[in-house]
Amino acid sequence: MEKTSDHATALGAVGAVAYRLARPEDGEALARLDGSFTTDAAFEVETTDEGFRIRQTPVDPPLHKVFPAADDSNDEDDPDLSRTVVAVDGDELCGFVETSFDPWNARLTISDIEVAPAWRGKGIGRTLMDHAFDFAKEYGAVHVWLEVSNVNAPAIRAYLRMGFAFCGLDTSLYDGTESAGETALFMARRVP
C-alpha cells in the first residue's frame, strides 16, 4: 500500500478505477449506492430426509430486489479488525467491500459487497474481493465467509466463479424483515 499526499491509503488502480480505504466522508455515498438487482433465477432450498438440496430455478417474471437501508448498530469494537475498501472513478463511487476479521476462528467475514449498476460486469467486484483476501492474508485468516439471500442469483453465480462454495444455510434469518420467506445461504472459500 502506498500513502498519498492526503494521507489516504491507496491500494492501487485498474484502468480509471482507483481502490482505496474508505474515509469518513465516503459514508453518504456508501449509503446511497444502489445495491439492487434483477434476476431471472433463484437458488431454491428444499428440505430432504438427509438435509437440504440447493438448486437453481427460473423466476418468471424476473424478480427485482431492493435491499433496506443498512443498520449500523453492529459497529465493530476493534476498528483494526474491520476494513472497508472503495472503488472510485474520480468522485464517483463504483463499489465497496466491508470486511471484519474474527480472531477466535481466523475467519474474515464479508459483511457487504456492492457494485453500482453501471459498473457491474467490469471486474470491480472481483478486484474488491481480491482486496478482501489481501486483508484476510494480512491477519492470517484461514477462510473468507459471507451470507447471501437465495434470490440473489447474480451474486451467488459470481461467488461460485470466484471459488466460494456453499457451507450452510438459515431458513429463519430473515423472518421479521422485508426479506421474510428468503433463505440465507452461507458460502466460504479457503484463503490460499
Residues 85-141: pLDDT tens digits?
Answer: 999 999 999 999 999 999 999 999 999 999 999 999 999 999 999 999 999 999 999
* Average pLDDT of the residues in 174-183: 95
**Helix, strand, coil percent content, the chain, rounded in steps of 5:** 25, 45, 30
- CA torsion angle for 8, 13, 17, 23 (degrees, to 10)? -20
Alpha carbon distance, N-terminus to C-terminus of the chain = 20
Total domains in the fold of the chain: 1
Cα separation, 17 vs 92, in Å, equals: 9
pTM of the model: 0.85
Print the domain residue range for 103. 2-190
Cα separation, 136 vs 144, in Å, equals: 7
Cα separation, 181 vs 95, in Å, equals: 28
Residues 6-55: pLDDT tens digits?
Answer: 445 789 999 899 999 999 999 999 999 999 999 999 999 988 888 889 99
CATH number at residue 140: 3.40.630.30
Cα separation, 145 vs 69, in Å, equals: 22
Q: Which amino acid is at 167?
A: C
For residue 166, pLDDT beyond 70? yes
In the prediction, which pLDDT does 7 show? 43
In the prediction, which pLDDT does 68 show? 77
